[in-house]
Structure 1
Amino acid sequence: MSTFSVEPWVADLVPLLDGTRTPVQLAQTLSLLDRGALEDVLEVLESERFLASEASSTDRATRHSRQLQLFDEMISADELSAVARGHDASTIQSRLTGACVVVVGVGGAGSWVVQSLAAAGVGRLVLIDPDVVELSNLNRQVLFDSGDIGRVKVDAAAERVAEIDADITVDVWRTRVDTAEQLATLLSGADLVVSCADQPSVPVVADVVATASTAVGVPHIVGGAYGALLGVPGVTVLPGRTTCWSCIRAATADDHGRAARTLKGSSPGGSAAPLAGVVGNMTAWEALRILLGAPPALAGGVREVDLASFDSVWRPIPPRLECGCVPSSETTGST
């Protein structure tokens, strides 16, 4: 039998481990400022087999049964043939269970992205946002309700994810992403980065996300936005395989006479839940496709959706020869 020397708060922790609280809620109940210490204790308890898993494999299969059916249909339609290789849908689902996605910005579009990734069973989410929940957020930011006003967004978002699926690991960082060097420290183990932040502006954050992600070879979705009844669900970049964000920015510099400010400038525009939901869920679906190994739908160009008519315009953008971001034989893109 193992023996341990522990802090007094650990004795208070044990009765709380009844399966009804997330790590975030446990830290709040115990007034712990150091979540790392809590996670270390939980890891030891799990390794010593003092913790039981809440959900059985049968529960997991039932939770995602309709999703598994979709994956089977995608295999039959050759959407997942490159990664299926005789595996069934359950094995493909395990790609999501073992995946880590970093979401920068959990507001308008970002909150819908997080909700959809959690519902799909992505195993680890890293949420980055500096803000607190405000009343004006509630018309479109689906992770929050009136009881969250004044709370740190990433903390409230983590609790919502736990309500969707308690088996998902959520790391939260209350910070604004200002530099690629800063973001790079948070990308350890990431399979995908999704940029949904708009402060100080959509393109500034997109530039930071692209620079940091490309440096470590992590796929990323950058620059998504909505406003003025126009939606852009982001641009997918698979480093070394698809047109990079720098080439996209250069090609769209004069679009709409806005010098590539995409849709949002430095001040927020009008928005509503359906608009944020359309853009956010298109982005989330693209994220799932990337994690599963399906062909990306938003790589190699820019898609704009008229949110009044649902007409969609796709503009292919090849890599610049002088950039060299993609070898000529490696280009992968949408159609």
Structure 2
Amino acid sequence: MRLPRVKPEHAPYRLGDGTIRLGGALHGIASEITDADGWAWTALTLMNGTRSPTEIASGLRSRFPVLTGEDAEDIVETLLSSGHVEEADPSPCQELTAQEKDRYSRSREYFRWVDLTPRDHGWEPQVRIKTARVLVLGLGGSGSHAAWALATAGVGRLHLVDPDVVELSNLNRQLLYTEADIGRPKTEVALERLRQTNSGVDVTVEKVMVNRSEQLASLVDGFDVLALCADRPREPHGIQTWANRACAKAGIPWVSGGYNGPLISVGVFGPGGPCFECVRAGIPPQPGADYAWPGATSASAGLSGHLVAHDVLAFVTGTMTTPPGYFHGVTLLDPNGHVYARYASRPHCEVCS
């Protein structure tokens, strides 16, 4: 990093005991530094985009003669690697066109805020989205919203799979369809709408019912992430179990979303974490847990689909802050109803142990 500066959104503040907080406590990316001597605070103050790391370390030593050169360099390097600091004079990004930079400028601002990996120019997450290959299975309530969000985000290749046609009862919650589309295959309509939404995304479709585990294993081949928004066949031993095993064999992550009335729940699974079957085994059985209940609104379906898209993008960009292997979500009727469930891998699990 040539000219480091603290990201404006991560501006540090100091507590009475000298502890420094960076990143904002409410944003889920906060860090705390114990700094009784004021060394880190001084280094952060010097990181204003006008000094090199060597100059910052030199300035730190001049203010604190007790520090050795190695001490000062270590402090600076630790802060540079924290993710709360960015390059004030970024190198140019060659992988995106000027039009793409304009289109995704707000996305860049979002990712530079949440990304805790030091970058050269801040466009790296968007470049990864551009080269990503995502399979969306199911284009109903969750899937239609997820597909739209992934297309607008600029996912390079988006393959959509669904067996159904548009019905009138779909239109209270499924984003991509209108009354004029009733009777048409959902894949056909989704292809038209998403190409109109973002011509820079390679959208392909397949009108097929996935009714065998081997079929799903074949579908995920060649993709980076699976967005599973289909709920048939039901669990136990249904499509989520198939996805769990197919994606584990392929070595790719997957995200599964659905809604059970006011309960919106999304599963996030992938290499390095407990698998779906292990986490599911730890959750007490409850009615409707397989999302078999039909009640939904555009809001509940939209939340589910957009949480799926959010987690897919977190996998693609490398900005996921929690290792995979959990369910999360919200209960709409309870202001404190945050959902989070994680259980360790079972000792003899064939998939993840």
TM-score above 0.5 = yes
Match of 2:265 among 232, 244, 249: 232
Separation (CA, whole Å) in 2 of partners of 1:88 and 1:189: 29
Match of 1:69 in 2: 109
Separation (CA, whole Å) in 2 of partners of 1:250 and 1:86: 39
Q: In the alignment, is the contact (CA less than 8 A) between 1:225 and 1:262 conserved in 2?
A: no
Match of 2:82 in 1: none
Separation (CA, whole Å) in 2 of partners of 1:202 and 1:96: 31
Match of 1:118 in 2: 151
Match of 1:255 among 282, 285, 301: 285
Q: Secondary structure at the match of 1:112?
A: helix
Q: Structure 2: which 5+ residue stretches go unaligned? A: 1-95
Q: Secondary structure at the match of 2:220?
A: coil
Post-superposition offset of 1:229: 1.3
Instruction: List aligned pairs for 1:239-278, cutoff 5 A.
Output: 239=271, 241-252=272-283, 254-256=284-286, 258=287, 262-265=289-292, 268-278=293-303
Q: Secondary structure at the match of 1:94?
A: helix
User: What count of residue pairs does the alignment treat as equivalent?
Assistant: 256
1:114 counterpart letter in structure 2: A
- C-alpha offsets along residues 166-223 of structure 1, whole Å, 9 cap, x if unaligned? 121112111111122112222232000011112233662211222211111111113x
Q: Structure 1: which 5+ residue stretches go unaligned? A: 1-55, 328-335
Match of 1:128 among 161, 164, 180: 161
Superposed CA RMSD: 2.0
Match of 1:212 among 225, 246, 257: 246
What TM-score comes out, normalization by structure 2 length? 0.68
Separation (CA, whole Å) in 2 of partners of 1:236 and 1:306: 18
Within the alignment, does 1:188 sit opposite 2:221 as a pair? yes
Instruction: List aligned pairs for 1:12-91, cutoff 5 A.
Output: 57-75=97-115, 78=116, 81=117, 85-91=118-124
Q: In the alignment, is the contact (CA less than 8 A) between 1:302 and 1:317 conserved in 2?
A: no
- C-alpha offsets along residues 93-115 of structure 1, whole Å, 9 cap, x if unaligned? 11000001001101001111001
Separation (CA, whole Å) in 2 of partners of 1:325 and 1:282: 25
Q: In the alignment, is the contact (CA less than 8 A) between 1:286 and 1:297 conserved in 2?
A: no
Q: In the alignment, is the contact (CA less than 8 A) between 2:133 and 2:224 conserved in 1?
A: yes
Post-superposition offset of 1:160: 1.0
Separation (CA, whole Å) in 1 of partners of 2:321 and 2:181: 35
Q: In the alignment, is the contact (CA less than 8 A) between 1:207 and 1:245 conserved in 2?
A: yes
Post-superposition offset of 1:313: 2.9
Match of 1:108 in 2: 141
Q: In the alignment, is the contact (CA less than 8 A) between 1:202 and 1:225 conserved in 2?
A: no
Post-superposition offset of 1:325: 4.6
Within the alignment, does 1:198 sit opposite 2:236 as a pair? no
Q: Secondary structure at the match of 1:127?
A: strand
Match of 1:319 among 319, 328, 345: 345
Match of 2:314 among 289, 310, 323: 289
- Greater Rg over alpha carbons, structure: 2
Q: In the alignment, is the contact (CA less than 8 A) between 1:243 and 1:317 conserved in 2?
A: yes
Match of 1:7 in 2: none
CA distance 1:102–1:143, change in 2 (3 Å)? same
User: Where do 4+ consecutive residues of structure 1 move more than 6 Å?
Assistant: none
Post-superposition offset of 1:326: 4.6
Separation (CA, whole Å) in 1 of partners of 2:322 and 2:165: 33
The sequence identity of aligned pairs, in percent, is: 33
CA distance 1:306–1:129, change in 2 (3 Å)? same
Match of 1:99 in 2: 132
Match of 1:26 in 2: none
Q: Secondary structure at the match of 1:249?
A: helix
Structure number with higher relative contact order (C-alpha < 8 Å, ≥ 6 residues apart): 1
Separation (CA, whole Å) in 1 of partners of 2:106 and 2:156: 18
Within the alignment, does 1:169 sit opposite 2:202 as a pair? yes
